[in-house]
Structure 1
Amino acid sequence: MPMPARSPTPPPHLSLNTSSRGTPTAIPNKHIPVCSPGGLPATPPASPPRQDSLIETSSITYPPDTYCSAYSDDPPVYTITADRMAEALEHIATQPLPNPEQVFPWMHGLHAENQIQLAFFSSRRRSVRKVPRCIRSITIVKTGGNLSASKLKGAIAPEEILDSTSDDPTFIECDPKDGFSVRNFQIQACKLAMVSDIIVYGDHKAHPNETIALAHKISKAQRQYEARNGFPRCLFNTFMLSDSFKVVQEKYPKLIAIDSTGGMTGNIVDFFYWERYEMCEMSKASEISKNVFLGPTPDPSLHSECQGEEAYDMFIEATDLAHVPESRSLRALRMGLEKIQRKAALHMEFPSSGSIMPPTWSHGEVDGLMEMCKWIYELANPHEVKRSKRRRDDDDEAIEMDDIATPRKFLIHCTDGYTETTLLALAYFMYAEGVPVHDAWIQMHRDKSRNFFAYPSDVALLTAIQPRILQESPRFNESVFNLPEPHWLSKIDGSLPSRILPYMYLGNLGHANNPELLRELGITRILSVGESLSWPEDVTKKLNWPSDKFLMIDRVQDNGVDPLWAEFERCLKFIEAGKQDGGATLVHCRVGVSRSATICIAEVMNELGLSFPRAYCFVRARRLNVIIQPHLRFTYELLKWEEYQRQRRNETLRRELEWSTVAREIALMNKPYSR
């Protein structure tokens, strides 16, 4: 997709080393859930057996003097041309990554003083803290560290790898000194830089002496790191790019992430952009009832299919700052719509989901919600309203067709297209279609193909005022009051399982233990990753699910040790069988963000042929308010899965992004949500 001609995200001030005040505004209502490893066992699990031969990454920048010229001997620094750099980066991208067993748990971060982390990993084998000799990478560092313009693919700032507090040039001690984590994405760029040939470059604003000084610092840090770890001298080296950024931009545009003017080129996968693009694609506006649409706030620069002012007569934005509109405001807006021929749509606001809280909601708030639903319906369906008035009018006064107003189109919208709008959208759907809350919930998702999130307070409110909504509905039918409330409604916390593909859902253990809800959604298979179901016996007998519709992947904890790679094929065959049967599969673990998300990403890569970065953003956007969190090892296994996918399709191995860049981007995406 073409990238918008605007400044990149994240903003230039966002880096892995900034404080929380330097982060951009997070996407509303998203949060990072807690993913417990299930407790640290007294005896850590054994390493899984190696299934493949050892892999060692090769590089064409070693030995350095083969194609590059020496600039200085003490410290050793070399120059590299744009041609040679492009060739070296291409070579690295086509090299298979070492197998996970070769680089983990070293990549988790094993600081000598971190007793918790060491107790879990190091007792598995004594050599665990040693730097793997099989891995070799290339790191690009920009002089000055301003990555908001003239950014090469994968470039990082000097402060991300060099310790500014040390008198002698040295790398940052990036392994965490305390705590236990298997999601240390923020340290990977630095860890990989220590086992990299490092290329330093500057843009037109950087003085050559600055680049030379930075290259000398990095080379000295490499010598210190080599001595500390017993490496041969100059196993990894520092290079300065001898060509200007302008030359690289002209000769190798596919290596340019951000051009010299600060514009995103679209040649390099940008996680921030793709998450928002996939979110917009997933929640793009659609009609939920006649002339009433639901979707995200239109942004044509982000998605080409977004329709703007010309497509609607009224935009209703759901926001936390809004109040329930008064009757006189609605009358004024009605007059504006009926009497004035406008080229641009009118705009108004309405309180967002979760803002009308039980049990303290006022009659005025409920009255306002009902008046809002009636107001929208009458303007969206003037012909039906007129016919209804004629049938109720005893005098049967003649109504001229000219008196019937033109139907008006409404867009109920919010930033993400599914969170803040849910209360108003569900209430209106119940009112316009005359259906109870549980039917509205299912029909909006299943029949109208809307993915949405609602707060528990929305469920409580709509359930409490359901009789009034249905009685005032233009499609009032007394039979709806005789329908019993389904058991599954009381068990949901506001969220449905996340529809990733039409035949695959991603959810948590609570979703998996709500079989009546799964049946309503058309889910006929359950894939449990490391977590067992606990259905009541009477429910099991009543639903009579065949045993071949369940698959349990056992002995896989979210601990950074247990692999999932070996289970990918079995899981995907199970999901494919459900697709062929015309049903859908729920993939779940405990929280629905790590183990099960990993399986879903693997299926998206397999089904849609996407690279890992794009598949990750695809699933992340569709998990709605919960941020997926596959840990380091699972993420690495998915990059290896990408290699296998290319091999199976007889394609040349070539990664879009390297491991260090993938990890760095994920860390930056999660930083606004970290506490």
Structure 2
Amino acid sequence: MATLTINPTTISARSITPPPSPPDDSPMALALAASTPLPIPNKHMPTPTYTITKLPPSPVTPPASPPTEKATPVLPSSTVLHPPTAHLQIWKDPPIYSIDAATAAAAIHQAASQPLPPADKVFPWLHGLHSENIVQLTFFDARRKVLQRTPTCWRGVTVVKAGRPLENSRLRGAIHPAEILPAMSGSNGFLNVDPKEGFCVRNFHIQTAKLAAISDIIIYGDDRTSKETVKSIARRISLAQIKYRSMYMNHPDAQCPQFNTFVVSSSFSEFEQHHPELVAFDSQGLSSGSIPDFPFLERQEMCIMSQATEIAHNVWLGSTNDKYQAGTRNLFNICIETCDGAPFPTAPMLRLISRRMKDRNSVQDIEFPASGSVAASHWARFDIDAIMDMCRWIYFSVNPILIKDADGDTKMEDRDPGKRVLIHCLDGYTETSLLALAYIMYAEGLTVHEAWIQLHREKGRNFFAYQTDLQILLRAQSEILRASPARHEEDAASVSKIAIPRWVSKSDGSLPSRILPHMYLGNLCHANNPEMLKELGIRRILSVGEYTSWTKEEEAAWPATHIMKIQNLQDNGVDPLTCRLDQCLAFINAGKAAGEATLVHCRVGVSRSATICIAEVMKRLKLSVPRAYCYVRARRLNVIIQPHLRFMYELLKWEEGQRIQAGLGVKRELEWPTIAREIALMNRPYSR
């Protein structure tokens, strides 16, 4: 067999290479479609791709990894649901048991309190090892057949809702039957979700179905679902368990675990009354707020991060949410929405709006082209003039000229405090960048690079600017500064002689993402621009598996103690990361103690480095894995973080260790299949 050499390649922030996902007409895709969240504009998925090269025949060697634990974890001998003989058997062939709401709740809570098996005991099986997928099998060393066996150390609890969709009467982690069963009711067995083609270590969408097959399964319905419907689904699941056990649980050296099917005899209202902590959506379809909701958490964190702040006198930068918040609309007299497809406002249009604003209580809405919406090569002289006109109009709207009498005095009733302007877009940080930077340059008399740093550091704004924004503003810089009211006439001649720092020419327009005041998340391009990092106040660099290519002069300017390199850590689904977390977090903490920010980077800044940032957020802010993931995801701006399956699983195990160390005991807020399912749902709109 030929050796397969798989190497990550550098990906542009704009490129989108979707990870494998269920076909759009598959039962699982149809089941998930109804609950797929709407995409957040300007989020992009830079997925590591792989080049597969055939080499002469040689032994297949998977990437290096540290020795695994020798002790093999075993299933608990007794749980709430096992052995099932403690419960009423309502069907013998296939076996189905009945439990009440209290027993179901106890089983769910107990499962969340049991330690997860070590990662090396369930991977690479969780990646998806289809018997016909030669690429995936070869990479994970097909000669070691033990890797393909179903793990015998997992006993989960899967909750299935029969009947109506999941939008109401939903328990924590509940799934639709179509996510684990074939569409045809006469088909036996669970869905075979292992990918038959390609190589991927981010198969989040298959985790629910894979682990349901090695879990006890609880089926319930809402108060409008008949008992026959629930039993029908239970019968199919019980038959699938029997078939799976006979086909895939053939372990000659271990006793084959047996998993069972249970139906809840209680009404859903009993869960609402006695176990509200397990209710995600009540019978009316209202969220309880007690269960982490990934899309809601991401949007909540985005609103917090991008809430309106004053970037210049009377000029605010924020999200569209700031415009529509109850009771705040009248705070702004002018709302400028930057969006794709918007034309430049013409000078006559701006004069007309000025006349309308004589009524000081009126609110005027204007559109302006979004950042990155037009390639720099297409920008004509007219476009630069339009930017200048807009900046000039905003400036004199917020800084009105005072009309004085013959004595040089201004009457109190004639004093105009100026209009309040909100520059906004839906996410609050992407489409507004071009206009916000141009205005700061004009109003403050700053160069491009000064405006870039001031908006981020002094004004505290997280923003994403495209390379085209940088090129356009560099082209218009001289004219903006000559026209700036903040510059004196004697400075105008020196404008054309302004030197552009070297870090500007090395920048692609983007800045590393500020996750916490003392920690930034970025890519290799950011790390290879040390001058820019110093301008941002970053004094330490944590390189995860990828190393910088600095000049000797650049290396000499950084103390060796301020650089940490984590070696032999690839984004391959094999190399473990949590064994390195303590040293990484200690390095970041040392920087915080010294008042120095740390850049954490890998190649793209979405997997290895993102995992470390999630761990730091978990430890620093005392957040669970789901909440810390959404926190970091929101602050990575237009790039979607993508720690692969093993990294996310390891974070759950690391959280266990942190809780045990703190004397809190094991208690997961969400189970692994639910976390994986929610991540798959959030990524799905961007992977089409």
Deviations 1:587-616 (A, max 9, x none): 000100000001111111111110000000
Which of 400, 407, 414 is the equivalent residue of 1:403? Answer: 414
Identify the residue that residue 331 of structure 1 maps to in structure 2.
Answer: 351
The answer as to 2:427 corresponding to 1:416 is yes
The answer as to 2:471 corresponding to 1:471 is no
Question: How does the TM-score come out when normalised to structure 2?
Answer: 0.90
Taking a change above 3 Å as real, the CA distance of residues 52 and 124 of structure 1, as seen in their structure-2 partners, is same
Taking a change above 3 Å as real, the CA distance of residues 328 and 52 of structure 1, as seen in their structure-2 partners, is farther
Which of 420, 430, 443 is the equivalent residue of 1:432? Answer: 443
Taking a change above 3 Å as real, the CA distance of residues 114 and 100 of structure 1, as seen in their structure-2 partners, is same
Shift of 1:646: 1.1
The answer as to 2:381 corresponding to 1:363 is yes
Question: After alignment, is 647-656 or 573-582 more displaced?
Answer: 647-656
* 8 Å contact from structure 1 (residues 57, 95) kept in 2: no
Which of 536, 541, 556 is the equivalent residue of 1:526? Answer: 541
Taking a change above 3 Å as real, the CA distance of residues 123 and 233 of structure 1, as seen in their structure-2 partners, is closer
* 8 Å contact from structure 1 (residues 338, 405) kept in 2: no
1:266-281 correspondence to structure 2 within 5 Å: 266-281=289-304
SS in 2 for 1:148: coil
Identity %: 51
Shift of 1:537: 2.3
The answer as to 2:645 corresponding to 1:632 is yes
Identify the residue that residue 347 of structure 1 maps to in structure 2.
Answer: 365
Deviations 1:395-437 (A, max 9, x none): 9976545333232111111111000100110011111111001
Shift of 1:338: 2.4
Letter in 1 for 2:678: E
The answer as to 2:552 corresponding to 1:537 is yes
| Backbone CA RMSD of aligned residues | 2.4
Q: Distance in 1 between matches of 2:50 and 2:517?
A: 30
Identify the residue that residue 342 of structure 2 maps to in structure 1.
Answer: 322
Q: Distance in 2 between matches of 1:282 and 1:262?
A: 29
* 8 Å contact from structure 2 (residues 208, 676) kept in 1: yes
Taking a change above 3 Å as real, the CA distance of residues 504 and 195 of structure 1, as seen in their structure-2 partners, is same
SS in 1 for 2:376: coil
Q: Distance in 2 between matches of 1:172 and 1:15?
A: 9
Which of 579, 582, 586 is the equivalent residue of 1:569? Answer: 582
Letter in 1 for 2:224: K
Identify the residue that residue 503 of structure 2 maps to in structure 1.
Answer: 488
Q: Distance in 1 between matches of 2:292 and 2:449?
A: 40
* 8 Å contact from structure 1 (residues 139, 193) kept in 2: yes
SS in 2 for 1:75: coil
Identify the residue that residue 272 of structure 2 maps to in structure 1.
Answer: 249
Shift of 1:438: 0.4
Q: Distance in 1 between matches of 2:336 and 2:239?
A: 60
Letter in 1 for 2:318: G
Identify the residue that residue 122 of structure 2 maps to in structure 1.
Answer: 103
The answer as to 2:527 corresponding to 1:512 is yes
Q: Distance in 2 between matches of 1:15 and 1:169?
A: 14
Deviations 1:369-420 (A, max 9, x none): 21111111112122xx43xx88xx9x99765453332321111111110001
Identify the residue that residue 91 of structure 1 maps to in structure 2.
Answer: 110
Q: Distance in 1 between matches of 2:88 and 2:545?
A: 54
SS in 2 for 1:17: helix
* 8 Å contact from structure 2 (residues 42, 430) kept in 1: yes
SS in 1 for 2:140: helix
Shift of 1:63: 2.8
SS in 2 for 1:298: helix
Identify the residue that residue 82 of structure 1 maps to in structure 2.
Answer: 101
The answer as to 2:466 corresponding to 1:455 is yes
The answer as to 2:244 corresponding to 1:225 is yes
Letter in 2 for 1:446: R
* 8 Å contact from structure 1 (residues 356, 365) kept in 2: no
Deviations 1:496-516 (A, max 9, x none): 001111011111011000011
Shift of 1:20: 10
Identify the residue that residue 310 of structure 2 maps to in structure 1.
Answer: 287
Taking a change above 3 Å as real, the CA distance of residues 14 and 448 of structure 1, as seen in their structure-2 partners, is farther
Q: Distance in 2 between matches of 1:606 and 1:14?
A: 40
* 8 Å contact from structure 1 (residues 102, 132) kept in 2: yes
* 8 Å contact from structure 1 (residues 55, 96) kept in 2: no
The answer as to 2:133 corresponding to 1:114 is yes
Which of 263, 273, 277 is the equivalent residue of 1:240? Answer: 263
Deviations 1:65-123 (A, max 9, x none): 34421111011000111101111111111111111011111100001000000001133
The answer as to 2:661 corresponding to 1:648 is yes
Question: After alignment, is 206-215 or 591-600 more displaced?
Answer: 206-215
Task: Give unmatched runs, 5+ long, in structure 2.
Answer: 1-24, 54-58
Taking a change above 3 Å as real, the CA distance of residues 124 and 45 of structure 1, as seen in their structure-2 partners, is farther
Letter in 2 for 1:110: L
Identify the residue that residue 49 of structure 1 maps to in structure 2.
Answer: 67
Shift of 1:322: 1.4
Shift of 1:130: 0.6
Deviations 1:628-656 (A, max 9, x none): 00000000010111111212222122000
SS in 2 for 1:60: coil
Shift of 1:259: 1.1
Letter in 2 for 1:437: V
SS in 1 for 2:543: strand
Q: Distance in 2 between matches of 1:14 and 1:654?
A: 34
Shift of 1:296: 0.9
Shift of 1:47: 5.0
Question: After alignment, is 210-219 or 162-171 more displaced?
Answer: 162-171
Identify the residue that residue 29 of structure 2 maps to in structure 1.
Answer: 17
Shift of 1:492: 1.3
Task: Give unmatched runs, 5+ long, in structure 1.
Answer: 1-12
* 8 Å contact from structure 1 (residues 454, 495) kept in 2: yes
Taking a change above 3 Å as real, the CA distance of residues 38 and 451 of structure 1, as seen in their structure-2 partners, is farther
1:156-171 correspondence to structure 2 within 5 Å: 156-165=175-184, 167-171=186-190
Letter in 2 for 1:215: A
Identify the residue that residue 127 of structure 1 maps to in structure 2.
Answer: 146
Identify the residue that residue 6 of structure 1 maps to in structure 2.
Answer: none
Q: Distance in 2 between matches of 1:14 and 1:419?
A: 35
* 8 Å contact from structure 2 (residues 463, 637) kept in 1: yes
Letter in 1 for 2:661: R
Letter in 1 for 2:197: D
Taking a change above 3 Å as real, the CA distance of residues 15 and 553 of structure 1, as seen in their structure-2 partners, is farther
Identify the residue that residue 162 of structure 2 maps to in structure 1.
Answer: 143
Letter in 2 for 1:534: S
Identify the residue that residue 33 of structure 1 maps to in structure 2.
Answer: 46
Identify the residue that residue 208 of structure 1 maps to in structure 2.
Answer: 227
Letter in 2 for 1:317: E
SS in 1 for 2:138: helix
Identify the residue that residue 329 of structure 2 maps to in structure 1.
Answer: 309
Shift of 1:163: 1.6
SS in 1 for 2:335: strand
Q: Distance in 1 between matches of 2:302 and 2:70?
A: 37
Identify the residue that residue 9 of structure 1 maps to in structure 2.
Answer: none
Shift of 1:493: 1.2
Letter in 1 for 2:551: P
* 8 Å contact from structure 1 (residues 317, 412) kept in 2: yes
Taking a change above 3 Å as real, the CA distance of residues 243 and 254 of structure 1, as seen in their structure-2 partners, is same
Shift of 1:474: 1.0
Shift of 1:215: 0.5
* 8 Å contact from structure 2 (residues 220, 264) kept in 1: yes
Taking a change above 3 Å as real, the CA distance of residues 471 and 250 of structure 1, as seen in their structure-2 partners, is same
Taking a change above 3 Å as real, the CA distance of residues 36 and 556 of structure 1, as seen in their structure-2 partners, is farther
Identify the residue that residue 5 of structure 1 maps to in structure 2.
Answer: none
Identify the residue that residue 681 of structure 2 maps to in structure 1.
Answer: 668
SS in 1 for 2:629: helix
Letter in 1 for 2:118: N
* 8 Å contact from structure 2 (residues 27, 178) kept in 1: no
Shift of 1:311: 2.1
Q: What is the count of residue pairs matched by the alignment?
A: 649
Q: Distance in 2 between matches of 1:17 and 1:601?
A: 29
* 8 Å contact from structure 2 (residues 375, 468) kept in 1: yes
Question: How does the TM-score come out when normalised to structure 1?
Answer: 0.92
